[in-house]
Amino acid sequence: MKNILAASAAALAAGIAFAQPVPQGYPADYAQTIAGAAKEGKVVVYSALDTKAAQPLIRDFNALYPNVKVEYNDMNSTELYNRFIAEQASGQGGADVMWSSAMDLQVKLVDEGHAMTYNSPESPKLPKWAVYKNSAWGTTYEPAVFIYNKRLVTGNEIPQDHASFVKVVNANLDKFKGKVTTYDIEKSGVGFMFVVQDTKYFPGMDDLIKTFGKAQYKVYSSTGNMLEKTSSGEHLLGYNVLGSYALVRAKKDPGLGVVLPKDYTLVLSRVMFIGKKAQHPNAAKLWTDYILSQRGQKMIGSDVELFAVREDVDAEYTAAKLTKQLGDTVKPIPVNAEITQYLDQKKRLDFLGHWKSTMQAGK
Amino acid sequence: MRASATETFPRAFTILVTATAVLAPLSLIFYQSLLNAPFFDAQKAAGLDAYRFIFADSDFWTAFRNSFVIAALMTAIAVPLGGLLAFVMERTDLAGRRWIEPLLLVPSFVSPMVLSFGYVVAAGPVGFYTVWARELFGGAPWGIYSILGMAVIAGLTHVPNVYVYASAALKNLGSDVEEAARVSGASPFRVAASVSLPLIMPSLLFSAVLVFFLGFELFGLPLVLGDPEGILVLSTYLYKLTNKLGTPSYHLMAAVAVCIVAVTFPLVLLQRHLLKNSRKYASIRGKAGRLKELPLGPWKWLALGIIGLWIFVAVLVPLSGIALRAFVTNWGEGVRLADVLTLEHFRDIAEEPTMMRGIWNTILVGVVGGLLTVACYTAIGFATHRRNDGWSRFVDYLVLVPRAVPGLLIGLAFLWVFLFFPPLTPLRSTLFSVWLAYSVVWLAYGMRLISSSLLQVSPELEEAARSVGAKRGRVSRDVTLPLIRYGLLGSWLLVFMIFEREYSTAVYLLAPGTEVIGAQLVSLWQGGAIDLVAALSLINVILVGIGLGIALRFGVRLRD
């Protein structure tokens, strides 16, 4: 009796594994990918998004593919890159999927041949700028915002665009001295990428840097610190803060205000690619397709509280809503080789040098 | 012949393993500093580019100067204060010394990361105490985000390092000279300043070198307090290089590490030299039959005041800050405490598998790892015990080396070893990697604990065993080991607490399976998850507190 039960349970399990339907609109041979993934049993994801935030995605993916375990490793974006190249060099495959907000580092890895070329069936649904060489995909749509302390900064002290950020701080220098914050661009790759983009769109950038110097601005390598210290009143204004985190915190924290700059809003998109030497290539494809799918994107736009990059997704946080709100002032940073130019050592040091001297000049 | 082979083999093996564990990662760092790209990069080339870069970088020199200033200032604060506290605790009749002493040692067992974070939330510009002070007195005249602020905090929290050496030296001092001074009408503090403390000068000097050198290695404190202001010290400069060029600059980081070692290793050697001398001093002490406690009289209020103030600033302020922050959703100016109380952060930790694993791993690495570590240290101790040959001296110096390298970089070097040394690769994502790195980093500290236990066994007991024909191994196993077992148990507890406290070494080793609280704190702090940092810090403090409680309960001496 026991044996029969066990046998039928096994048959049932096998049946589930094989009967896993190919998602709608996918090619029929996708069934092989699904079966292959089930055999591989797991996918190793390296990500800069912390595990807690990614939990809804992992749970939903597991509901969809119960046979594929997600081994999710979060670390900061630099660490992610360091670990990946060290593991590649040592020949010990680690990551199947890389997912990072350091867009430039991700593109660099793709250019250096570390990514698998994969014709994702979801690719055509993404905006053109978010697909790179059929190897890397922009998965989110996260604006760079201003933040302020709601208790202590009110009325027209709240900057609405980049120019007024400069004006407000200069006009109330006593109040804002030591209380303006942004990323430490020497430490934060994201912060660096944002200001490089700023120089493209904002002609008054040098004034802004000088103002930072004048106001003795405070720098951090992470978003959380800026949110915490602005909320507490230790700082009053924050510049170029990753909006996805800021908006989530602002929802719970009555002390924190968020502004989407009116003149232009930079948008970062977390880049995902599959490692060329991935040990679980099928599972990696499944995971990537899931993240790019409508279901995954909906989750990103709701429970994960990042912004969905796909236009055809309805959720609380989506690219579509942001575009509707801001029109064509939204400037997504494209996933392409242009963003890697500042990884050139000399160019980068020159940029940092200019930043530093301009900032000093303001003091 | 065969007997001698079985006698020398375990010793040779122990020395070989120790030397490999210490020298492999360090030579990797040195080698890396002489390249122009990561050592595993196909396009690397040898050269001095890395040194040229950092020597041309003004940030490096600023960081160097800041490190020097902070180290000097904190020495200037910690040494007199530690000496004074030791005098009051050892030589006077102050009431309540028994329960004051453990409090004096608390800062040396709390992670500097936790302490610094505690200062931010307690005494930062909008910290709890700052806000209260402003409400009560209309002002809070302290700024902890400055070189001076950091130096004061570092100085105050390093008082225990001075205290343990000063008080040990004072214990060995006869009280006759002090009494002579008292009889001639000197006040207790005059006695301390003109008689007792000068007599233990070698120990004070020794601890001054120690504190200065610890100052050069500060990481958590400047990371938390100095970074936002852009105040760099050498270790945070090194950390910053991880990202300055956009991609990892291991060669630059390694070059900075070599520069740090160039400063600290001579200090370590100097320390060793001083220690030898101070022992010489101690051996020519007067034979005081009894130690008479100096009556403090009305001065006791001043003494209590100093001790109380120090405990308040160095222990209560940061720890209460952490405790408070762990239970509130947000804080700052204009926030009413009662509105923001919550248990949410602890629930978050309980729901987060990596956090729970981190806590569990931290306990595991402290309890089981600590036991293994003590076993290894004991083996090394036996390899050099009562043997005055070249190998023993080699090991003596060997164990000091890792102390001179910042833990952050030793961790990175161990990551490389585990990645590129095939026999170890399967162990990379296991707690073993963290345990090994910890054991190497704390080698010098641990060996002091072990050898002080070993030295308490007087040689005639071992000689008796040998004279009836027992071999070395047998003597160690059946005579020495049983005699030092309580000392080893105490060492285990101390190693447990040190491992709970450690943070920088595991930063680069952090991976699924190797999470420990210390490294998670650095990572979470960088990521800005302040709520979790506070809650996890409190858990860390509680773990250390449990260790401390057990140690006190069983009368373990909290120092070597």
What pLDDT score was predicted for residue B526? 74
Average pLDDT, rounded, for chain B? 85
Query: Per-residue DSSP letters for B254-274?
Result: HHHHHHHHHHHHHHHHHHHHH
Smallest CA–CA separation between A247 and chain B, in Å? 15
Give A189's contacts in chain B (Cβ within 8 Å).
Answer: 243, 246
What pLDDT score was predicted for residue B444? 85
Position B157 pLDDT exceeds 60: yes
Give A73's contacts in chain B (Cβ within 8 Å).
Answer: 511-512
Give A92's contacts in chain B (Cβ within 8 Å).
Answer: 419, 425, 428
Task: Show the tokens assigned to B200.
Answer: 């233990």
Domain range list for chain A: 19-140+269-324, 142-267+340-362
Give A352's contacts in chain B (Cβ within 8 Å).
Answer: 244
Which chain B residue has its CA at the smallest distance from A253's CA?
B330
What pLDDT score was predicted for residue B286? 46
Query: Please, are residues B65 and B205 in contact by the beta-carbon 8 Å criterion?
Result: no
Nearest to A180 by CA among A204, A222, A146: A146
CB contact under 8 A, B243 and A90: no
Structure ipTM: 0.76
Domain range list for chain B: 1-27+344-560
Distance CA B453, CA B29 (A): 34
pLDDT category at B66 given cuts 50, 70, 90 is very high
Select from B129, B134, B330 the residue whose CB has the most chain A CBs within 10 Å, as the one to mutate to test that interface.
B330
Matching CATH topology for A19-140+269-324 and A142-267+340-362?
Answer: yes
Nearest to A283 by CA among A9, A25, A33: A33
CB contact under 8 A, B246 and A89: no
What pLDDT score was predicted for residue B435? 94
Determine the distance from the C-alpha atom of residue A56 to the mean position of all C-alpha atoms in its chain, rounded to a whole number.
16
Smallest CA–CA separation between A109 and chain B, in Å? 11
**Fold for the domain defined by B1-27+344-560:** MetI-like fold (1.10.3720)
Pick B40's closest partner by Cβ from A89, A225, A352.
A89
Sorted by sequence, the CB contacts under 8 Å of residue B390 that are 6+ apart come out as: none
Give B529's contacts in chain A (Cβ within 8 Å).
Answer: 50, 224
Position B4 pLDDT exceeds 80: no
Query: Is it true that domain A142-267+340-362 has CATH number 3.40.190.10?
Result: yes
SS3 A127: coil
What pLDDT score was predicted for residue B514? 86
* Low-confidence spans in chain A with pLDDT less than 50: 1-2, 10-17
Nearest to B18 by CA among B501, B400, B353: B400
Pick A76's closest partner by Cβ from B420, B511, B526.
B526
Nearest to B216 by CA among B402, B72, B401, B71: B71
CB contact under 8 A, A82 and B40: no
Percentage of chain B lying above the pLDDT 70 cut: 94
What pLDDT score was predicted for residue A15? 45
Position B111 pLDDT exceeds 90: no
Q: How far is CA B28 from CA A358, B23, B413, B508, in A?
A: 39, 8, 7, 15
Query: Please, are residues A98 and A84 in contact by the beta-carbon 8 Å criterion?
Result: yes
Distance CA A265, CA A331 (A): 6
List, for residues B403-418, the tens digit of each pLDDT value: 788 888 888 889 888 8
**Taking CB atoms and an 8 Å cut-off, how many pairs form between chains A and B?**
131
Distance CA B159, CA B167 (A): 12
Return the number of other C-beta atoms located less than 10 Å from residue B353's C-beta.
Answer: 14
**pTM of the model as a whole:** 0.83
Task: Show the tokens assigned to B416.
Answer: 């490389």
Select from A74, A228, A345 the residue whose CB has the most chain B CBs within 10 Å, as the one to mutate to test that interface.
A228
Q: Does residue A346 sit at the B interface (CB-CB below 8 Å)?
A: no
Within B218-326, where are the H helices? 220-221, 234-244, 250-283, 299-311, 317-326
What pLDDT score was predicted for residue A307? 93
List, for residues B277-310, the tens digit of each pLDDT value: 655 554 444 454 456 777 777 888 888 888 999 9
More confident residue, B216 or A16: B216
What pLDDT score was predicted for residue A39? 95
Give B330's contacts in chain A (Cβ within 8 Å).
Answer: 228, 231-232, 253, 255
Residue B166 amino acid letter: A
Architecture of domain A19-140+269-324: 3-Layer(aba) Sandwich (3.40)
CB contact under 8 A, B528 and A222: yes
Q: Does residue A93 sit at the B interface (CB-CB below 8 Å)?
A: no
Q: Which residue has the tokens 């190249």?
A: A85
What pLDDT score was predicted for residue B145? 87
Give B352's contacts in chain A (Cβ within 8 Å).
Answer: 51-52
